[in-house]
Structure 1
Amino acid sequence: MITLFRRIRQKLIDSGSLTKYLLYATGEILLVVIGILIALQINNWNEQQKQNERERLLLINLRNDFQTRYSELKEINTARGEAIEVALFVNEMIAGQVAILPEDEMDRLLATFINYFGFNEQFKMLDVLFNTGLINEISNEELKQLLLLWPQQMEEMLEEQRDLIRLYEQTLGPLYYKYLSMRSLSESFEFRDYQIQRGAPITLTKDYEGLLNDRMFENYLADAQTLLHINIIDGNILIQSAERIIELLEEQIESL
């Protein structure tokens, strides 16, 4: 192709026609410019494809993480609701409206409260997004704003979660050690079907009546119900937010 252009150029020079030569030279320059523009366009397209693929992989990882968080939040919120129901039933026993249950059933009920209902606050994909600036590569503005809002929403729930843990450690834990067998409670723990293996025979004497008559325990139940109720409200906000984030992530992945 270059040889052909060279021959045409030489013929025009030999012909002595300046006008024809200038027209040809102009056309040749235009061809070169067009070739450069096409090459740039192809390069830009390739870069955009790479960018889209990076964003797509990022969104897939985010979606997987949020699906895990969504399932965990729903499971924990259900358990919190069940714990409130148990607390109300135990309050009826404290008030003498319901008789104390057999030992195995009491252990099963009281084991409910050794659950912190803890939500895992470690979210590595979000940390990567925020710490590396990859959040700016997300093109959907609503999705970006929801992701930026998520840590604040989660912190509101975690505040009551931490208060519940402190309440257990400072109030319920000492009461359980005083009146019950922690090994018996652990073996009766049903959350997530952990199936804690039963050990050697339990020799500790259990004093359910003493626990129910201890005013610290009744106060614990009242405080725990309040914190669990607030946790459920905050958890539902997170669940709704996670649902929308997952929906937007699915849409964005499909569009890339």
Structure 2
Amino acid sequence: MEQNKTGKPALPAGRYFKYAIGEIILVVIGILIALSINNWNESRTQNVVKQELIASLIEDFEYNKDALKVSRNYADSLFTNMNTFQELIQSGTPLVSVDSLRQLAHSHFRGAIYDPNLTAYEEAKSTGNFSLLNNKTLSELFTVFIRNFENYEDLNDEGRYSYFNGSSWELRKTINLSLISADQSTIDSPLTQTLSYQDYKTMVSTSLAKAALQNSSTLYSNIIRVYGNMDNATTKILELLYEMKEE
């Protein structure tokens, strides 16, 4: 006190440096812990989003598979009717009534129906969450499904064009289509003219009629092929999604 030295004694330079290093280490450790917790939370959140996406995709593609089965069976039945019609016409003998032929011919002028649910897939692509699946095979299968669905839509557009602008339209301009085809609800309606088997065969053997009927048959053959591709892709997509769900 006589020398006016009342403060704390100064720390040696070496000890001060050690304290500074210790504090820096504590700060770094704190930052690393905070980053680790943040990464864990982010990973946990992403995993929740991923599992929700997987569940939504499974729900959508289970629906798509069931809807595809119905559409494929319908297309198969129409295509079978078309082939039966051609066999009966080519047989040269009246094996069935003209009304039965008209019912079979009606399959050539029916539209295909398939409308898959792609809500979860499209939302995941638009938000970027699709990358959470991180599965190249799954991505390729989705691409196969989408590409074939687009092909199906193109084929359907082709069928509509044929009916309203193409070969079916040209045929309809020359003859009342109800003479050639009729569904069950209208088959009992009286025709404006009586058709014998030979009259009917002559009518469906014209160039326009043969073109319209053949185009429809070819169209459905392609639609059935595309349905098969979509069905195979859907089955494999669901297998992978269920595996990922269990991980």
Within-5 A mapping of 1:7-156: 16=11, 19-20=14-15, 22-95=17-90, 96-101=92-97, 103=99, 109-120=104-115, 123-156=118-151
- AA of the residue aligned to 1:231: I
TM-score scaled by length of structure 2: 0.73
Instruction: From the superposition, tell whether residues 150 and 207 of structure 1 become closer, same or farther in structure 2 (CA, over 3 Å).
Output: farther
Alignment pair present for 1:223 and 2:215: yes
2: CA distance, partners of 1:52 / 1:181: 56
Q: Deviations over 1:168-212 (max 9, x none)?
A: 445289466442786xx26489xxxxxxxxxxx956658665555
- AA of the residue aligned to 2:237: I
Query: What is aligned with 2:154?
Result: 159
Query: What is aligned with 1:195?
Result: none
Instruction: From the superposition, tell whether residues 65 and 102 of structure 1 become closer, same or farther in structure 2 (CA, over 3 Å).
Output: same
Aligned-residue RMSD, C-alpha: 3.5
2: CA distance, partners of 1:146 / 1:26: 55
1: CA distance, partners of 2:80 / 2:118: 31
2: CA distance, partners of 1:138 / 1:53: 12
Structure 1 residue 16: deviation in Å?
4.9
1: CA distance, partners of 2:228 / 2:128: 29
1: CA distance, partners of 2:176 / 2:87: 19
Structure 1 residue 84: deviation in Å?
2.0
Q: Deviations over 1:66-90 (max 9, x none)?
A: 2222222232223222222211221
User: Any unmatched runs of 5+ in structure 2?
Assistant: 1-7
Instruction: From the superposition, tell whether residues 205 and 73 of structure 1 become closer, same or farther in structure 2 (CA, over 3 Å).
Output: same
2: CA distance, partners of 1:225 / 1:60: 39
Answer with 201-210 or 159-168: which moved more: 201-210
2: CA distance, partners of 1:44 / 1:224: 58
- AA of the residue aligned to 2:179: Y
Answer with 79-88 or 212-221: which moved more: 212-221
Q: SS of the residue aligned with 2:134?
A: coil
* Aligned partners of 2:84 and 2:104 also within 8 Å: no
Q: SS of the residue aligned with 1:119?
A: coil
User: Any unmatched runs of 5+ in structure 1?
Assistant: 1-12, 190-200
Query: What is aligned with 1:10?
Result: none
Instruction: From the superposition, tell whether residues 26 and 88 of structure 1 become closer, same or farther in structure 2 (CA, over 3 Å).
Output: same
* Aligned partners of 1:70 and 1:242 also within 8 Å: yes
Aligned sequence identity (%): 24
Q: SS of the residue aligned with 1:118?
A: coil
- AA of the residue aligned to 2:46: Q
Q: Which runs of 4+ in 1 moved over 4 A?
A: 13-22, 105-108, 201-212
Alignment pair present for 1:233 and 2:229: no
Structure (1/2) with the larger helix percentage: 1
* Aligned partners of 1:160 and 1:231 also within 8 Å: yes
Q: Deviations over 1:73-119 (max 9, x none)?
A: 2322232222222112212332334523485x567544544431222
Matched residue count? 229
Q: Deviations over 1:108-152 (max 9, x none)?
A: 544544431222267333333333433333311222233244332
